[in-house]
Amino acid sequence: MTNNTFTVYRKELKDSLRDRRTLISMVVVPIVIFPLISIGMFTFVSKVVGKALEEVPKVMILSAGDSPRAIEDLKAIKGIDFIPGTPDYAQQISDKKIRAAVDIPSGFDAAVDHDTATTLKIYNYEGDLKSGIASDKIEKYLKDLQIQTVQKRLQARNLPPALANPFDVKKENVAPPEKVSGAMIGGFLPYFVIILCLTGAMYPAIDLTAGEKERGTIETILTSPVPRTQIVLGKFLMVLTAALVTAMLAITSMGVSFHVAKAFMAGAGGANNPLNFTIGLKAIGAVFLMVLPLAVLFSAGLLAIALMAKSYKEAQSYIAPLMIVVVMPAVAGLMPGVEFNARMALIPILSTSLVCKEIVAGTYHWNYIAIIFGSTCVYASAALFVAVSLFKREDVLFRT
């Protein structure tokens, strides 16, 4: 880097700070909109789940009427409103008028009494939260009832009831509540940071290339006694600054927002409160470090793409598909069960999203962190090389 590069950088920085769109995407979005969206979303989800658990679901009983004992057993389940069956039960479940239906086969009571195998079906709406809660309650109750029935059969034959249940299985969480909560919602932090890092670099990249072409000011800076490599590096530093400032503000804003939300909702849910964790300074620093080469990749890539456009509007149309390319792997990092392996560590954006999710949860895979950081640096260097090469081409700079 030379003095000429930093001179171009300072000039572009001053111009960008006067641009309202750049300031909004770089400062206002991560500080104001980002916390409102993230905290508001988690609060909304918590309330929706809470209301679903409090609701008394309507469940239809489908029976031939020859198994009164089974019907009475079902009606003993607390928190469920059982109603008589109708032929359109499937449509009513699909329309969410009822949450589930239990089909008691003909002769069910007699089959149980005579040790004959039979099947009781539960119809539900797969993927619907309230239907799932209702069917889970019924299934759990029926499984307990099943064990009790087997124990009664064994007792009638003078056999020990323990034969039906030779051992118990108990799950016990050993991870701290902060890690559990971090694993549950920590994936949203890298997702938002990656998206905001891209949008923070987007407007400066377009303005410093296609915007200058449209205004006719790019010729002025090209006539200065500054080599084109230094000019493009100065512009690149400005775009990178916007991306990093946006990322830094987003990470800090997220940490502060969850700290405030945790204090505000301290009595809600106790250890089960999904906001019951704190993003420490170590995690903030580590996430920022992992986003750094990604910000370089975004800045150089956006600069190269926008440089090929003739106008601001054309540059926006070129960059719009890039949002999908970035969003898809970032969203994949939120999916449960997606874990690291050496091959996945080489996939840009997805690998950063996954490793940042683990970091927020308090887990540091140093071998993967090194691979991801190194590979992203290679991708970023290649993108910067392309941007510099394009800036030296007359047919790109003066495309009409």
- pLDDT above 90 as % of the chain: 9
> Rounded to whole angstroms, how far apart are CA atoms 261 and 38?
11
When pLDDT is averaged across residues 338-344 and rounded to a whole number, the result is 73
Over the stretch 174-224, which tens digit does the pLDDT of each residue have? 766 556 666 666 667 778 788 888 888 888 888 888 888 888 777 777 777
Over the stretch 363-398, which tens digit does the pLDDT of each residue have? 788 888 888 889 999 999 998 898 888 888 876 667
Q: Which residue has the tokens 């064994």?
A: 154
Q: How many CB atoms neighbour CB 140 within 10 A? A: 11
> Rounded to whole angstroms, how far apart are CA atoms 138 and 58?
12
Check if the beta carbon of residue 155 is closer than 8 Å to that of residue 161.
Answer: yes
> Rounded to whole angstroms, how far apart are CA atoms 318 and 325?
12
R_g over Cα of the chain: 30
User: Which region among 83-97, 133-147, 228-242, 264-278 has the lowest average model confidence (pLDDT)?
Assistant: 264-278
pLDDT at 335 over 70: yes
Distance of alpha carbon 322 from the chain centroid? 19
Which phi and psi angles does 104 have, rounded to 5°? -90, 115
What crossing angle do the helices spanning 281-307 and 366-391 adopt, rounded to 10°? 30
> Rounded to whole angstroms, how far apart are CA atoms 220 and 252?
39
pLDDT band at 59 (very low <50, low <70, confident <90, very high): very high
What crossing angle do the helices spanning 34-54 and 188-207 adopt, rounded to 10°? 150
> Rounded to whole angstroms, how far apart are CA atoms 95 and 82?
17
Between 323 and 18, the more confident residue is 323
Q: Which residues make Cβ contacts (< 8 Å) with residue 192, sequence separation at least 6?
A: 34, 37, 38, 250, 254
Name the CATH architecture for the domain at 56-164: 3-Layer(aba) Sandwich (3.40)
**Token pair in block for residue 310:** 């003739």
Q: At 246, is the secondary structure helix, strand, or coil?
A: helix
**Token pair in block for residue 349:** 């954006």
Over the stretch 84-114, which tens digit does the pLDDT of each residue have? 989 999 999 999 999 999 999 888 888 888 8
Q: Where are the domains of the chain?
A: 3-49+177-397, 56-164
Check if the beta carbon of residue 244 is closer than 8 Å to that of residue 13.
Answer: no
* E strand segments, the chain: 58-63, 81-84, 100-104, 121-124
pLDDT band at 270 (very low <50, low <70, confident <90, very high): very low
**Average pLDDT across the chain, whole number:** 81
**Token pair in block for residue 219:** 């010729």
Q: Which residue has the tokens 């769109």?
A: 21
